[in-house]
Amino acid sequence: MAIGNVLVGQSGGPTSVINASLAGVVDAARKAKGIGRVFGMRFGIEGVLNDYLVDLGSESPDVIAGLKSTPGSALGSSRLKLKDEHFPAVLKQLKKYDIRYYFMAGGNDTMDTIHRVTKYANEHGHEMVGVGVPKTVDNDLFGTDHTPGYPSAARYVAMSVLQAGVLARDMQKVDQFVIFQSIGRSAGWLPAAAALARTNELSAPHVLLLPERRFNQTAFLQAVAAAYKKHGFASIVCGEGVTNEDGSPLSASQTKDKFGNVEFGAMGGTSAAMLLHRMIANEFGWRGEFQVAESLPMCAADRTTKLDIAEAYACGKQAVKLALRGEGGVMVTMQRTNKSSEPYAIDFGTISLSEVANHERPMPDNFISKDGFGVTKAFLDYAAPLVGELPKYASLAAKRAKA
């Protein structure tokens, strides 16, 4: 590769550590030989089309370091789906700024964008290397053990269900059930993380609804009734992408984004948690509540794990390392070096961008309990080192007093 400039961007929904990946790219690029200037796309690929690039090389080291603990997407994000007519304009900008190294942090659709842009540029005589940095709280990217952003979002879910479970236990004479809805689209990795909150067989959550299993109303209501009989209340966690037996979204959402993904939180749809609440109230006559966190797990800096920050930053640095070796057309992956997860450690690998773009990674069957309403020890072993230790709360023995 000839000496050239770097272009880095962020796309899709944020995570609480996506800016740590940005910092990793910037730090590695600044120190590398063979790289000139470092530019950032303002609002993703739209920044390229609108000639709005940010001079990241002019930012102070303190600001770049501070990105590691800053939520949101510092460069701004976009969900624009590139069309064929966009590519000549994109190439013009790449040539204008002499972009030879192209990085984006994102999910499946982002990896497809990198693949298409670099392929078009190279086919039209502009030599360029593109490397993807994995990012998604959904944890559904193909080819990697997990994605930066998932550990912190999983901790958010586990902590929320743990604390809400304590509240529900103590308020069971007022509210007989509580439903927590998690984001995650068609993958159950995030709602499954709620199981880490279960400190004993009586504590929340009691029933999990994962998108990998079709929803059966009769079986669900039976599970809720059994939980109530055993615990005095029922704690339910559902993924936003849970589907009916015919494959239609339980949320009844018909809205899709420009990439064809169902927008479960869109106006006009009813959240899965609301429908489940109505279903339980109608069946049993109970009073209950539902909690829909929406985008909060994607930006909760107060629950970000140190592991997640370190791995996100390292993935950004690894992307630059690969690009300088001429290894383009790939996404950085993480793989566990110890299958037992004890001690936890990862190593880096790669997977082709086209392979990531065309596949998703649902939870495997061995992570889901036979009845479909819980997870197995294999999942808990997988998720525990990512989420870290959860707080332990006191619980009264509550022995009945005698006169």
Q: What tens digit of pLDDT does each residue of 376-399 get?
A: 999 999 999 999 999 999 989 889
Average pLDDT value for residue range 264-281: 78
The predicted-structure confidence for 314-323, as pLDDT tens digits, reads as follows 999 999 999 9
The predicted-structure confidence for 190-226, as pLDDT tens digits, reads as follows 999 999 999 887 899 999 999 999 999 999 999 999 9
Share of the chain residues as helix, strand and coil, in percent rounded to the nearest 5: 40, 20, 40
* Cβ neighbourhood burial of 16 (10 Å; 0-12, 13-18, 19+): buried
Fold match flag (4-136+304-357 vs 150-301+362-387): yes
Average pLDDT value for residue range 58-62: 97
Asked whether the whole model's pTM tops 0.75, one would answer yes
pLDDT at 2: 58
Pick the CATH number of 150-301+362-387 from 3.40.50.460, 1.20.1260.10, 3.40.640.10, 3.30.565.10: 3.40.50.460
Query: How many CB atoms within 10 Å of residue 89?
Result: 13
| Beta-strand relationship, 346-352 and 129-134 | unpaired
Residue 381 known to be catalytic: no
pLDDT at 82: 92
The structural domains of the chain, with segments of one domain joined by +, span 4-136+304-357, 150-301+362-387
User: Would you call 2 helix, strand, or coil by DSSP?
Assistant: coil
CATH 3.40.50.450 fits 4-136+304-357, yes or no: yes
Among 395, 390, 371, smallest CA distance to 380 is for: 390
CA geometry: angle at 266 spanning 284 and 372, to 5°? 45
Identified catalytic residue from 138, 175, 246, 381:
138
